[in-house]
Amino acid sequence: MDPNKNNTLKKYIENRKEYIQTQYTIVSRYEDGCDHFGLKYWITCENGRTYRCWQVNGEKRKQQDNLYKDISNGFSYTESVANKKGLHSDTLYYFNIPKLNILFKSG
């Protein structure tokens, strides 16, 4: 299935990327000495965790990689169309991986 044509998936990825970005927003920092590169900082992010200043981008990337891995292994969501019994059912979708890569690189 082409992930670029699935609006539910596109919206989900957009929301999750935004959530990840928000969770790693810096809310406070303080100096903790320096090294040959300059000042070092401890940083507290919106998610409540504390990192060294150089760790934040790597942590964000790990979360985005985990999101990609989860989706590439199958994306499940509740259909908006009811089944014969009037219940909504979860459906697991598998996507064309090269096209999924394109979707992740955009935005």
Whether the per-residue pLDDT at 10 is higher than 60: the answer is: yes
Q: What are 34's strand-pairing partners?
A: 39
Question: How is the chain split into domains, by residue range?
Answer: 3-105
Rounded to an integer, what distance in angstroms lies between the CA atom of residue 62 and that of residue 41? 21
**Full-model pTM:** 0.68
Q: Are 92 and 76 in contact (CB under 8 A)?
A: yes
Rounded to an integer, what distance in angstroms lies between the CA atom of residue 93 and that of residue 72? 9
45-94 pLDDT tens trace:
999 999 998 899 999 999 988 888 877 776 665 555 555 555 555 566 66
Among 19, 5, 4, 25, which residue's Cα sits nearest to residue 104?
4
